[in-house]
Structure 1
Amino acid sequence: MQSESVPEIGFVQQILSLNLVPRKNGTNCGRNDTSSVYLCDFSEMWYGVFLWAVVSSLMFHLPAALLALATLRHHKVARFLPIAILLMGIVGPMFGGVLTSAAIAGVYKAAGKRMISLEALVFGVGQSFCVLIISFLRVLATL
């Protein structure tokens, strides 16, 4: 007879249910409810927001790089522009996203709140969306 334990969640189901953040020791914030998806520890919150910031940044930059590759493939120098676009899609979240994700997680931790995985998605995608809006509005050129 098998002992009852929490069933393992498959990789695809984990992504679709926004359970992307690994748990420390399989804990669930002291709750026995396996359907709740709370991020309680600072590192869990930081990683959740940061992961979504990187993924959404790549989702914005990948089509731009593909478009640049398709339109500039015959140019002598500009054919390497898609590499720069993809690097900015990775380097931006690695430096700026790390700090802003830590700030968001720090505020949640200092307030003693738990973060839902959906909140991590909103904050992560929101970071990338703000970078996109600032880039298109050319706000920095007016300073």
Structure 2
Amino acid sequence: MVALPPGNMTDRYSEIGLFQQILGLNLVPRKNGTNRGNDTSLRDFSEMWYGVFLWAVVSSLVFHLPTALLALATLRQHKVARYMPIAILLMGILGPLLGGVLTSAAIAGVYKAAGKTMISLEALIFGVGQSFFVLVISFFRILATL
């Protein structure tokens, strides 16, 4: 890691690598490119929405990618089911793009209407929570009983 002079906090984020930003939960770009030092709270609607949406997409891919690889390995000899990994990956990408956009906007809208700020950890919990509930609903087949 590069040591920076004490008064040079504005250049701090340009020196940090992508992997360190992911681990530090500093993934959300700030409005107008402003940096807030160690303050990782999300204040604007777009920052909150993007933070929740980003974690929903990442966690969905974490759930769906191993499943698609497992399906690819086990179903490669089948005539029709060999294309199932493509469908699984499409669900892992299109689900958050279509449904995650709306639910992330709803969460960010509630926070913005309440006048609250969202810390990056809350964005992670809401984003992963969305993917987790999709996973739970698909396993328990709750929709099929309605």
Task: Please give the TM-score of this superposition, normalised by the length of structure 2.
Answer: 0.90
1:25 shift after superposition: 2.6
Match of 1:81 in 2: 84
- Aligned CA-pair RMSD: 1.5
User: How many Å separate the matches in 2 of 1:85 and 1:40?
Assistant: 35
The superposition leaves residues 61-93 of structure 1 with CA deviations (integer Å, 9 ceiling, x where unpaired) of 011101100110001111010000000000000
Q: How far apart in 1 are the matches of 2:103 and 2:39?
A: 25
Q: Does 1:21 align with 2:24?
A: no
Letter in 2 for 1:43: S
Task: Return the letter of the residue paired with 1:55.
Answer: V
Q: Say which structure is richer in helix.
A: 2
Runs of 5+ consecutive residues of structure 2 not aligned to the other structure:
none
Q: Would the alpha carbon gap of residues 137 and 3 (structure 1) be closer, same or farther in structure 2, given more than 3 Å must change?
A: closer
- Distance in 1, Cα, partners of 2:18 & 2:76: 37
Shift of residue 4, structure 1, vs aligned partner = 2.9
Is 1:132 aligned to residue 139 of structure 2? no
Task: Give the AA of the match of 1:16.
Answer: L
Q: How does 1:1-20 map to 2 (within 5 A)?
A: 4-6=7-9, 7-8=12-13, 9-20=16-27
- The gaps in structure 1 that reach 5 residues or longer are none
**In 1, Cα distance between equivalents of 2:86 and 2:17:** 34
* Distance in structure 1 (CA, Å) of the matches to 2:133 and 2:120: 20
Partner of 1:107: 110
Q: Quote the residue 2:50 is aligned against.
A: 47
Q: Structure 2 CA distance, aligned partners of 1:57 and 1:4?
A: 40
Q: Secondary structure of 2:124's match? A: helix
TM-score by length of 1: 0.92
Deviation digits for residues 84-138 of structure 1, max 9, x if unmatched? 0000000000000000000000000000000000000000000000000000001
How many residues align structurally?
138
> Residues of 2 paired with 1:139 and 1:12: CA distance?
38
Q: Which runs of 4+ in 1 moved over 2 A?
A: 2-5, 25-28
Deviation at 1:13, TM superposition (A): 1.2
